Amino acid sequence: MENILVIGGGLMGSSVAWKLADRGAKVTLFEQQGENYFKGSSFGTARISRSLGPKKDVFSHLHNKTVKEVAKLVDFLNEENTEQIHSMEDIYTNYPVTYLYHKKQRAAIDKLRFKKQKKFFNSASSHSAFRKFGMTLPDDTIVVRETKQYSGTLNPTELLQKLRTGIEKKNGTLKYGHQVVGLVKKDDFFEVSILNTNTNKIRKLKATKVIVAAGAYTVNILKAFAPYLNKIITPKRVPISFLKIADERYAQLTKIEKKTLYDSFPFFSRIGKEYFAMISKPAEDGSPIIKVGGHQIRRNIHDLERVWDEEPLKKELKWMKKQFRKHLKMLEIHLSKKEIETVTSYNCVYSETRKKTPIVTPIFNKHGILENGLYVVGGMSGIGAKGCLGYGVLASDLALGKENKPSKMYRKLIKTLANPAVNLHTKRIKPGRLF
Ligand SMILES: Cc1cc2nc3c(=O)[nH]c(=O)nc-3n(C[C@H](O)[C@H](O)[C@H](O)COP(=O)(O)OP(=O)(O)OC[C@H]3O[C@@H](n4cnc5c(N)ncnc54)[C@H](O)[C@@H]3O)c2cc1C
């Protein structure tokens, strides 16, 4: 049986490797970090998990698919190991998800209000927002709230752990501390050079199929094979802060204020710089820890290695605190600057495509020839986690072939996530797009 190599052990690589192993393939996953995962987009304990979208939206579909796939993984782990009980609640925490729109975006909101979605969807203008959600809104904004099972937050660390266990139980191999330092195409195979970061030795492996899911490092790994990719995928730095209301002030909040506070996270403002906030750690006695950030305050990166140790800029920290205070003001919870504490702040990294849409696709080599044995799962930006197993299923289908006849939605998915420069139908590069 051929050995399929997966490069990168974040949510994407682990999802692909799990689906490959689940379908009986022989799979080896290489991850440059040790078992303790901390330098990657998938680091942390909370991501917004949400499914609201227009009719036949591929990203809603990917979220829903992921929920189903997580349930299958949980069932499998429970069948395999009766000592630990696995549950969906280890990964998903149900909260209503609140979206803020400018009234100019009404057309986008109207697209969300279709029959199948109506029961999860509620909206309010500045007139009704306080009555409905305890929020005081500026006149020009509209609030939308999604209430659905498994919408709220998902915990990437827990999901990673379960995926890893699943891969090993299905006889897949996980190699931590193994960094891929070269990938070249020889006659009919790929030669992959792997550095063991403990021994400093490099070993060369042959593989007929390779899946690159290395997050922000993807372009670097493929630079000899497909140097043009740096025009399509760009690593970005995204600062985040973990904030809390000072314990003393939190203790003064009434029961109803605390409930309004909890109900208002996750919060996703689609106005301006797209501020997001979610509960990272619920309070046991004191105030909950809230993770905040903004997708439009992302920046380019000179040195991917150094960025993890660099502090976010002062103006970025200030902006995040200001948005937090503004959000709480909408809940009629008024805080002075001193009453907001920063628990920690750091830079995260993700990669973004030119079209801002993730890619799951075979790619062209530098001579313009489509390589069917080499697939990229990348450019996940700030939306990857909630759909990770959807992308994983798709990548495993690309590598192993799809079992069933593709549905309309599946074909839409393939088309949306195809390399923007690849016409999968004619298998040609669209002129002028790549070079
Ligand atoms: C601030 C922030 C907020 C986000 N918010 C949300 C959200 O609310 N909802 C949501 O759905 N998504 C969100 N996301 C997106 C989501 O977290 C990512 O899309 C997802 O984690 C990407 O996973 P990945 O596997 O592609 O990348 P990574 O997790 O970065 O995994 C890539 C892995 O490849 C490894 N690697 C790299 N190079 C090599 C090499 N040469 N050899 C071996 N291994 C290598 C790396 O060490 C890393 O572990 C957010 C992301 C960020 C950064």
And the tokens for 382? 């700030």
Cα(261) to centroid of ligand 1, in Å? 29
Residue 422 CA to residue 55 CA, distance in Å, equals 26
Q: Does ligand 1 come within 6 angstroms of the Cβ of 226?
A: no
Which is nearest to 375 in space by CA: 393, 356, 355, 349?
Answer: 393
pTM of this structure: 0.95
Q: Does ligand 1 come within 6 angstroms of the Cβ of 155?
A: no
Asked whether the predicted pLDDT for residue 425 surpasses 70, the reply is no
Cα(236) to centroid of ligand 1, in Å? 11
Over the stretch 297-347, which tens digit does the pLDDT of each residue have? 999 999 988 998 899 999 999 999 999 999 999 999 999 999 999 999 999
Cα(215) to centroid of ligand 1, in Å? 5
Asked whether the predicted pLDDT for residue 421 surpasses 70, the reply is no
Residue-level pLDDT at 187: 86
Which is nearest to 290 in space by CA: 350, 343, 329, 237?
Answer: 343
Measured by CA distance, the residue closest to atom 22 of ligand 1 is 41
Q: Looking at residue 407, what DSSP letter applies?
A: P
Average pLDDT over residues 209-235: 93
Q: What is the residue extent of each domain of the chain?
A: 3-67+156-232+355-429, 94-153+234-352
Cα(216) to centroid of ligand 1, in Å? 7
Residue-level pLDDT at 434: 38
Q: Please, which pLDDT band fits residue 23 given cuts at 50, 70 and 90? A: very high
Distance of CA 67 to the CA centre of its chain: 14
Radius of gyration of the chain (CA): 22
Cα(291) to centroid of ligand 1, in Å? 17
Which is nearest to 361 in space by CA: 391, 390, 388?
Answer: 391
Q: Does ligand 1 come within 6 angstroms of the Cβ of 238?
A: yes
Q: Does ligand 1 come within 6 angstroms of the Cβ of 215?
A: yes
Contact between residue 360 and residue 398 where contact means Cβ atoms under 8 Å apart: yes
Question: Best mutation site among 16, 198, 350 for ligand 1, i.e. most ligand atoms within 8 A of its Cβ?
Answer: 350
Cα(11) to centroid of ligand 1, in Å? 6
Cα(13) to centroid of ligand 1, in Å? 9
Domains 3-67+156-232+355-429 and 94-153+234-352 share a fold: no
Over the stretch 73-117, which tens digit does the pLDDT of each residue have? 999 999 997 678 999 999 999 999 999 999 999 999 999 999 999
CATH of domain 94-153+234-352: 3.30.9.10
Over the stretch 125-158, which tens digit does the pLDDT of each residue have? 999 999 999 999 999 999 999 999 999 999 999 9
Asked whether the predicted pLDDT for residue 16 surpasses 80, the reply is yes
Residue 155 CA to residue 86 CA, distance in Å, equals 14
And the tokens for 64? 């829903």
Ligand 1 atom nearest residue 387's Cα: 11
Residue-level pLDDT at 420: 59
Residue-level pLDDT at 435: 33
Cα(130) to centroid of ligand 1, in Å? 37
Over the stretch 157-188, which tens digit does the pLDDT of each residue have? 999 999 999 999 999 999 999 999 999 989 88
Q: Does ligand 1 come within 6 angstroms of the Cβ of 379?
A: no
Strands 209-212 and 370-378: parallel
Cα(280) to centroid of ligand 1, in Å? 17
Over the stretch 42-65, which tens digit does the pLDDT of each residue have? 999 999 999 999 999 999 999 999
Residue-level pLDDT at 369: 80
Strands 178-185 and 209-212: unpaired
SS3 (DSSP) at 107: helix
- Per DSSP, the residues of 275-310 read EEEEEEE--SSSPPEEEEEEGGG-EE-S-TTTGGGS
Question: Best mutation site among 28, 35, 47, 267 for ligand 1, i.e. most ligand atoms within 8 A of its Cβ?
Answer: 47
Residue 384 CA to residue 398 CA, distance in Å, equals 18
| Domain 3-67+156-232+355-429 class, CATH top level | alpha beta
Residue-level pLDDT at 228: 85
Q: Does ligand 1 come within 6 angstroms of the Cβ of 190?
A: no
Q: Does ligand 1 come within 6 angstroms of the Cβ of 42?
A: yes
Residue-level pLDDT at 215: 96
What element of type H or E holds 109? helix 106-110
The least confident of 160-174, 211-225, 272-286 is: 272-286
Q: Does ligand 1 come within 6 angstroms of the Cβ of 129?
A: no
Residue 389 CA to residue 361 CA, distance in Å, equals 15
Ligand 1 atom nearest residue 179's Cα: 42
Residue 370 CA to residue 376 CA, distance in Å, equals 12
Over the stretch 340-386, which tens digit does the pLDDT of each residue have? 999 999 999 999 998 889 999 988 888 878 888 999 999 999 999 99
Cα(333) to centroid of ligand 1, in Å? 34
SS3 (DSSP) at 345: strand
